[in-house]
Amino acid sequence: MNIALAVDDEVRHEAALPSASEAGPATKRVVVGYGFWIFLLSDIVMFSAFFAAYAVLAHATAGGPSGVQLFNQRSVAIETACLLASSYTCGLMSIAIGSRRYAATYWAALITFVLGAAFLVLELREFAGMIAIGAGPQRSAFLSAFFTLVGCHGLHVTAGLVWLTVMMAQVAIKGFRATVERRLLCFSLFWHALDIVWVWLFTVVYLMGVVS
């Protein structure tokens, strides 16, 4: 009896909620978001190859300096804080966009940009310091892998900052059009994905490098 009732319930439930394919074609926002999601996943697969190369070469220092001697945990912690905070303000920006508030959008974008730029400055200072003491990418396989992996993430952050600037110009000129909103959706996906990559970066490169 109970089973029959449960089945009956399920049938009624399914009838009330049509599946995604029955509901008709997805909206363009959904399709664009999904396409960008696929791109982000392929980007992360590319990062995974760099991560694998780094993990394999982490101890191939060729007599040069190792991670323990080079990495400064304090600066890594500040970089992490900057990127995490900028991810948060990027989220606040999406909320402001959802409720069509221009001032809040500009402020959140400005803070996101400043925090991202601070992250980049710290990273470039770290790179410059390492190259100055002769620990450039040509010193050892370990350092080649390090500069490729961390530099690739830095390039992504740079591209994100340029993108954010362009998007704010579009919001100022075009307003919250559907096209602009979709691009902003893609930007926030990109920015949050970069933060996920950084979580693995500081864990695998900096913290595990200091441990071993």
Partner 1 sequence: MTDTQYDRAPGDALALPDVEQGTSSGVLVYTIGLALAVVLTAMSFWVANTSLLWVGGVSLGLTVLAIAQMGIHLVFFLHVTTGPDNTNNVMALAFGVLIVILVVVGSLLIMADLNDNMMPSAELMNLHMQH
Instruction: State the residues that interact with partner 1 by CB under 8 A.
Output: 17, 19-20, 23-31, 34, 37-38, 41-42, 44-45, 48-49, 51-53, 55-56, 73, 77, 80-81, 84-85, 87-88, 91-92, 95, 98-99, 178, 189, 192-193, 195-196, 199-200, 202-204, 207-208, 210-212
- The nearer residue to partner 1, 111 or 192, going by C-beta atoms, is 192
The pair of structure tokens assigned to 187 is 């930007």
Least CB distance from residue 1 to partner 1, whole Å?
A: 29
The least CB distance from residue 22 to partner 1, in Å, is 12
State the minimum distance, in angstroms, from the CB of residue 2 to partner 1: 25
> Please, what is the minimum distance in Å from the beta carbon of residue 45 to partner 1?
5
Of residues 51 and 119, the one with the C-beta less far from partner 1: 51
Q: Give the DSSP per-residue string, the chain.
A: -HHHHHHHHHHHHHHHS--TTTT-SPPHHHHHHHHHHHHHHHHHHHHHHHHHHHHHHTT--TTS--HHHH--HHHHHHHHHHHHHHHHHHHHHHHHHHTT-HHHHHHHHHHHHHHHHHHHHHHHHHHHHHHHTT-STTS-HHHHHHHHHHHHHHHHHHHHHHHHHHHHHHHHHH-S-HHHHHHHHHHHHHHHHHHHHHHHHIIIIIIHHHH-
Nearer to partner 1, 131 or 152 (CB): 152
By beta-carbon proximity to partner 1, the closer residue of 2 and 212 is 212
Which CB, 84 or 111, lies closer to partner 1?
84
